[in-house]
Amino acid sequence: MPADFSRDVELSSLTALCPLDGRYWAKVKELSPFMSEFGPIRFRILVKNDGFSLDDALEVKNIERVTDHDVKAVEYFSKQRCHSHLEIAKVLEFFHFACTSEDINNLAHTLMLIEVSDKVILPVMDKLITTISNMATANARIPMLSRTHGQEMAIFAYRLSRERKNISQIEILGKFAGAVGNYNAHLAAYPDINWLQIAEEFVTSLGISFNPYVPQLYLIEPHDYMAKLFHSIIPFYSILVDFDRDMGIYFFGLLQAGERIHSFVLLFFKGVILDMLTLKQITKAGKIGSSTMLHKVNPIDFENSEGNLGMANGGLYHLSTKLPISRWQLGYGVPEPYEKLKELTRGRAVTKENIIEFIEGLEIPFVAKKGLCLKTYMACVMEKTGPYNGRVFSSHAKKVQH
Tell me which residues are annotated as active site.
149, 290
CB atoms within 10 A of CB 75: 22
Alpha-carbon distance of 89 to 87, in angstroms, equals 5
Burial of 377 by CB count in 10 Å (0-12 exposed, 13-18 middle, 19+ buried)? middle
Q: Render 334-400 in DSSP notation, one character per residue.
A: -SSHHHHHHHHHTTS---HHHHHHHHHTS-S-HHHHHHT-HHHHHHHHHHHTTTTTT----TT--BS
**94 CB neighbour count, 10 Å cutoff:** 11
Distance from the Cα of residue 343 to its chain's centroid: 44
Helix (H, G, I), strand (E, B) or coil at 269: strand
Distance CA(339)–CA(286), nearest Å, equals: 76
Beta carbons of 305 and 236 less than 8 angstroms apart:
no
DSSP labels, 43-104: HHHHHHSS---HHHHHHHHHHHHHH--HHHHHHHHHHHHHTT-HHHHTTGGGTTTT--HHHH
Written as one letter, the residue type at 152 is: E
What are all long-range contacts of 253-261, with beta carbons under 8 Å and residues at least 24 apart?
A: 253/277
